Amino acid sequence: MKEQKGSLTRKIVLPAKGAEMLFDVQDQNIRLLESLFDCQIHARGCQLAVEGDRRGAKQLERVLREFADLVDQGYEFSNGDLRSAFKMIAEGASSSLNDFCPRTSVLRTPVREVFPRSPNQARYVRKIETHDLVFGIGPAGTGKTYLAVALGVSCLLKKRVQRIILARPAVEAGEKLGFLPGDLQEKVNPYLRPLYDALYHVLSGEKVHKLIERGVIEIAPLAFMRGRTLSDAFIILDEAQNCTSEQMKMFLTRIGLHSKAVVTGDVTQIDLPRGQRSGLVECTEILEDVKGIAFCGFTQQDVVRHPLVKSIIEAYQYRPKGKSNY
């Protein structure tokens, strides 16, 4: 180790498999780490030398040693997960790479194994497992609906529930429902497509079709829930920010015995008519202190889609009002 004028040089040896994971195409992960921690990384085979100011070099050394230890223990990181983890640690949203280790899977099927991919996602999963009603609120791409669907499928396969019910309000986001082609079912299907997508991601297409045909999985507009009692079910209400107050109360009072319900939404993307208050915003105030209900908030730090999604969310959040280039 060499120390000069407030700077440090740290040496780390990676296991061979860890080096393969870390050295991405054109060393993109190395360049990312250098920019995040304001350090330089010199690589020779599996040996890394980290050089930079004392704080950045020490933090990066700790992250890389954690990475090496976890790889030695058999953990594998996809490139996207690794880049997200590095960013969250550098930004202070997480303190350790251990927070991202998939110790327990949410669901394992022949098609997919699903893990929480951030500390907040892990908290969300725990809340769903321990509460009968959970609200997951935050921006797009944070895994709110996907994890809820995976947990619902897991409960179904383990026979903890008899059916899965997925609902969405059919609210027009800039397009008129009445002008879409086809009958009523064909008109509302585009609104429900994201729920189908989540199912197809964790189960085979054939399995999904069979479960829907047998009524074990039901995907329907929220309006179809009125008057029903939903017992022995895992119920998910997606895009709940577009529920009216009356619709939200109607949905929440459908929950029957031996059921779990998860409500997801993004309060920054409300498509209700101007002046109409979101039922999701209202119920977070009304139900805040009700025992047995859990709330889990997500931020752009939890985005697990394309890295640009996080940047887009941040740009919209902090854009100067009234400023335009056109």
Distance between CA 9 and CA 226 in Å, rounded?
65
The three-point CA angle 203-205-211 to 5° equals 75
Average pLDDT, rounded, for the chain = 84
Segments in the chain forming alpha helices (H) = 16-22, 28-37, 54-72, 79-90, 119-130, 144-157, 184-202, 205-213, 245-252, 279-286, 307-318
Closest CA to 184 of 222, 239, 221, 211: 221
Check residue 318 and give its pLDDT. Answer: 65
pLDDT in tens, 109-156: 888 888 887 778 888 999 999 999 999 999 988 899 999 999 999 999
38-47, pLDDT tens digit by residue?
999 988 888 8
Question: Which pLDDT tens digit goes with each residue over 1-26?
Answer: 444 445 778 888 888 878 887 886 56
Tell me if the pTM is above 0.75: no
By the 10 Å C-beta count (0-12 exposed, 13-18 middle, 19+ buried), 181 is classed as exposed
In this prediction, residues 165-169 reach a mean pLDDT of 93
What is the model's pLDDT at position 4?
45
Q: Measure the CA–CA gap between 273 and 172, rounded to whole angstroms.
A: 9
pLDDT of residue 131: 95
